[in-house]
Structures are given as C-alpha cells and as structure tokens.
Amino acid sequence: MPVTKAEDRKPQTKRVLVAKVGLDGHDRGIKIVARALRDAGIEVIYLGLHNTPEVVVAAAVQEDVDAIGLSILSAAHLTLFKKVMTQLKKAGATDIPVFGGGIISDKDTIQLKKIGIKGIFTPGTSLDEIVKFVKSIVKH
C-alpha cells in the first residue's frame, strides 16, 4: 500500500492515529472506536497493542495526523499519557491534540486535562459523542 503524503490528501480528510500504550492487551474498545471514526469519514491509523509513547509520537508525526487517540485499561494512564505529551513536546508537535479512553477516574481525568489531554472517554460514552468530539478538535 503506497504512503499518502499530506499534500496528496483531500483538504477535508481528517486523520487520527489510535493506539494502545503500555502493556494493556484489551483492544476491543479501541477497535470499536476506530471503526466508528472510520465510518464517520475519518481516516484511522491503528497502531495496535503494546506501543511506547515514543512509537506513538513518531508514527503520529510521520503520518501527519490531526489527532491522537490513546486507550488504556491498565491503570498506567497518568504515567503513559504524560510521556506521550512529553514526547510530543520534544518532537515539536504540540499542535496535535490528544484524547483518550479507558477506565479512568474523574480525579485522574482532571489531572490528564491539566497536562493537555483534550478529552477522556470512559465506558458507556456513546460513539456519536466520541466522533463529534474528534471532529471538533482536528485542525482542518
């Protein structure tokens, strides 16, 4: 499959990278979200399981994505999401908004938003709500 360059894409095409970070192996939720985003006309790049923050950010920069979606169910969200934000800063890519989902408490959601995570979605959130949110945060 040929690589699509940013300038070759339609101007309105939104690209979102979604990934599992850390050692969490539960991927049903992120696959459902990825499919909902795709069905809504968003190009989705799914990195799969067991990614490091460095890999997520390198792929996001290389693929010229409009947003990053992270999923985690292992309770390491504060550590790993913070590392992703640090890597974005190192890469000069702080303009890429990050959102996430998983089993995340309200208290931790506040902490994550303080470090720059744009939105957190927990089980029970409707797919329509996630799609609407993602469409609102992309830079196009």
Q: What angle do CA 68, 30, 83 make, to 5 degrees?
A: 40
pLDDT value at position 1?
Answer: 45
DSSP character string of the chain = -PPPPGGGS-TT--EEEEEEBTT----HHHHHHHHHHHHTT-EEEE--SSB-HHHHHHHHHHHT-SEEEEEE-SS-HHHHHHHHHHHHHHTT-TTS-EEEEES--HHHHHHHHHTT--EEE-TT--HHHHHHHHHHHS--
68-89 confidence digits (pLDDT tens): 999 998 899 999 999 999 999 9
* End-to-end Cα distance, the chain: 25
The arithmetic mean of pLDDT across residues 98-125, rounded, is 97
User: Which of 107, 42, 45, 118 is CA-nearest to residue 81?
Assistant: 118
CATH of domain 10-137: 3.40.50.280
Residue 10: pLDDT above 90?
no
Global pTM reads 0.90
Q: How confident is the model at residue 24 (pLDDT cuts 50, 70, 90)?
A: confident
Residue 11 has pLDDT above 60, yes or no: no
